[in-house]
């Protein structure tokens, strides 16, 4: 389950990189469908990660990863509801912070998978 969750997060990360590229290269927000797909994949990974934590013994890094992904999800929801929904340009600091925290959470999950 942890491996599948990590794969879902890796695919979501690819979409996140694409969206960050669109945001910084064009000075426009990425398309809504791409943001929704990114969020759906990440939410699926988080759901599977939490399910794995609740049903199987997992390393402590998986717990920390899940908590960090929850914070990352909150930031993603903030970006969607406060900026994208109101058609305001996403702040660069929020996009970068979201990405850094997501990469840290993903690295922790990968440590849990391969430990």
The domain spans of the chain are: 2-114
> Scanning the structure block, which residue is given the tokens 């899940």?
66
Report the sign of the C-alpha dihedral through residues 86, 89, 92, 95, in that order. positive
Q: How far apart are CA 13 and CA 99, in angstroms?
A: 8
Can you give the pTM of this predicted structure? 0.93
**pLDDT, position 85:** 81
How much is the mean pLDDT over the chain?
Answer: 96
Whether residue 115 is predicted with pLDDT greater than 90 in this model: the reply is: no
- Give the N- to C-terminal CA distance of the chain in Å, as an integer: 14
Whether residue 104 is predicted with pLDDT greater than 90 in this model: the reply is: yes
């Amino acid at each position: 389950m942890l491996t599948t969750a990590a794969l879902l997060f890796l695919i979501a990360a690819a979409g996140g990189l694409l969206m960050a590229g669109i945001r910084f290269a064009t000075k426009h927000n990425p398309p809504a469908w791409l943001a929704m797909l990114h969020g759906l994949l990440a939410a699926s990974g988080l759901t599977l990660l939490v399910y794995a934590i609740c049903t199987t013994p997992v390393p402590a890094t998986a717990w920390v990863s899940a908590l960090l992904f929850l914070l990352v999800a909150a930031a993603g929801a903030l970006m969607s509801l406060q900026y994208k929904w109101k058609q305001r340009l996403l702040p660069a600091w929020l996009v970068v912070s979201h990405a850094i925290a997501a990469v840290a959470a993903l690295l922790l999950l990968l440590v849990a998978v391969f430990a």
